[in-house]
Amino acid sequence: MSLSSQPEFADATRISAGRRILQRLHIDLPLLVGLLLLAAAGLFILYSAGDENLDLVIRQGLRLALAFAVMFVIAQLSPSTIQFWSPWLFGIGLLMLVAVLIGGEIGKGAQRWLDLGVLRFQPSEIMKLAVPMMLAWYLAEAPLPPNRVRIFIAAVILLIPTLLIAKQPDLGTALLIASASIFVLWLAGLGFRLIATVFTLFAAVTPVVWIYLLHDYQRRRVLTFLNPDIDPLGAGYHIRQSKIAIGSGGMYGKGWLNGTQSHLDFLPERSTDFIFAVFSEEFGFLGLLILLGLYLFVVWRGLYISAQAQDTFCRLLAGSITLTFFVYIFVNMGMVSGLLPVVGVPLPLLSYGGTSIVTLLAGFGILMSIQTHRKLIST
């Protein structure tokens, strides 16, 4: 790479001994500390949310251990390796998505899992990383900001997997992948005028779709989605109960294991998507500030890493991964506190279960790789 000529990265000699070891292990200490603290908080609150079921906590602990291991392995790869494999990963992911769709067609009903005998996983999980990787790879090929042709092709790269996943149907994941991709485009310098045009177009098309293309029941579903109060026995009940949980937590919370909303069975999905309500009920506003602080620390570190990154691919990818991480947090907290409609988005590192934790930490593995391989190339 010929980027070494830049003066601002030529400070490799000032690294202390301890940092050198971490450097060699390709670990970014601030990021690791932030993530570990969050994971620990997650296990703690899960014990309470899961009715003091230790098995549940152990299972989640093992899952976290696996996810951190994946993170370390990925951090060992150099960014150029990751860059090289990006289109391949994207291609494989796309093939698997199609396979799932065909398999699902045969098996009737929604199917998101691909069964490889030993291993069962959702290809849409891979795509959460593969799509932004592919876009970063593609856009980094030519000078930025991208010209119209490149933007068009990028839109196609974005839309194909998103639509395939939306068809599964897994709208939540599709939206997350779309937003991760849009972040890449945004960071690459997508023109403001184009952004405004797309927005206007959306605003113009929506009423037409609403009036002419949607069935009555589809409209009802969208309305329930936007305003859960319409369905007080389903989504409306969730939001009402989780608002009571959060609100009754007050400044200091009811204390660990003392949340009545969760322990008296009022709060549904409390160990998965709605775990934030349990946290807020038991630890109150102060607890929330600490938790939010931890999350923001991780986000800040991610943004710092992307600003420090040495080439376009790394910058775009690191920025997109970090911003998507924030989107998770915002959407989940917004949904549980009744600011946003109910979409099935977990709170990263706190919500129970899911292969999504592995994907999430794999993303942080990429961040660590970008950060820790930096000095090596610049010497």
Partner 1 sequence: MAKLNGLALKDHIREYHIFTQRLVIAAVITGLLVVTLVARMVYLQLINQDHFATLSENNRVNILPIPPIRGLIYDRNGILLAQNLPSFSLELIPEHIDDFDWTIEELRKLIPLTDEDVARYHKYRRKKRRFEGVTLRYRLTDEEVSRIAVNQYRLPGVEIRAELARQYPLGKLAVHAVGYVSRINEDELRKLDASDYAGTSFIGKVGVEQYYEDILHGTVGYQQVETNAAGRILNVLERTLPVPGKNLYLNLDMQLQSVAKKAFGDNNGALVALDPNNGAVLAFVSVPSFDPNLFANGLDSKTYKQLRDSPDRPLFNRALRGQYPPGSTIKPFIGLAGLELGVVNPAKPLNCPGWYTLKNDPRRYRDWKKQGHGETDLTKAIVQSCDVYFYDLSLNLGIDRMHQFLSNFGLGQRTGIDLNGEAAGLLPSSEWKRRARGTVWYPGETLIAGIGQGFMLATPLQLASITATMGEYGRRFRPQLLYAIQDADEKNHQVLKPQSNTPVPVVRKSDWQTVIEAMQSVISSPRGTAHRLSYNLPFTAAGKTGTAQVFGIKQDEEYDEKEVSKKLRDHALFIVFAPVEAPRIAIAVIVENGGHGGSVAGPIARKVLDAYLLKATPP
- Which C-beta is closer to partner 1: that of 99 or that of 296? 296
The continuous run of DSSP H or E covering 120 comes out as strand 119-121
* Residues within window 137-156 making contact with partner 1, judged by CB under 8 A: 140-141, 143-145
Min. distance of Cβ 96 from partner 1 in angstroms? 28
- Which C-beta is closer to partner 1: that of 69 or that of 143? 143
Residue selected from 138, 313, 328, 352 as contacting partner 1 according to rule CB under 8 A: 313
Residues 6 or more apart in contact with residue 220 via CB below 8 angstroms: 230
Cβ pair 83, 137 in contact under 8 A: yes
Q: Is 250 in the site for partner 1 (CB under 8 A)?
A: yes
Min. distance of Cβ 198 from partner 1 in angstroms? 16
Cβ pair 262, 278 in contact under 8 A: yes
Residue selected from 289, 290, 344, 376 as contacting partner 1 according to rule CB under 8 A: 289
- Which C-beta is closer to partner 1: that of 157 or that of 245? 245
Distance CA 181, CA 366 (A): 16
CA 170 to the chain's CA centroid: 15
Q: Is 1 in the site for partner 1 (CB under 8 A)?
A: yes
Q: Is 317 in the site for partner 1 (CB under 8 A)?
A: no
Residues 6 or more apart in contact with residue 101 via CB below 8 angstroms: 164, 167, 168
Residue selected from 155, 243, 256, 353 as contacting partner 1 according to rule CB under 8 A: 243
Query: Both tokens of residue 241?
Result: 């109960």
In sequence order, which ranges of the chain are alpha helices (DSSP H)?
17-25, 29-49, 54-76, 79-107, 123-140, 148-166, 171-188, 192-208, 216-226, 235-249, 260-263, 275-308, 312-336, 356-372, 374-378
* Residues within window 205-234 making contact with partner 1, judged by CB under 8 A: 231-234
Distance CA 48, CA 258 (A): 8
Q: Is 249 in the site for partner 1 (CB under 8 A)?
A: yes
Min. distance of Cβ 256 from partner 1 in angstroms? 17
Residue ranges in contact with partner 1 by CB under 8 A: 1-3, 5, 140-141, 143-145, 183, 186-189, 231-234, 237, 243-251, 260-261, 264-266, 280, 284-285, 288-289, 292, 296, 299, 303, 306-307, 311-313, 315-316, 319, 323, 326, 330, 333-334, 337-339
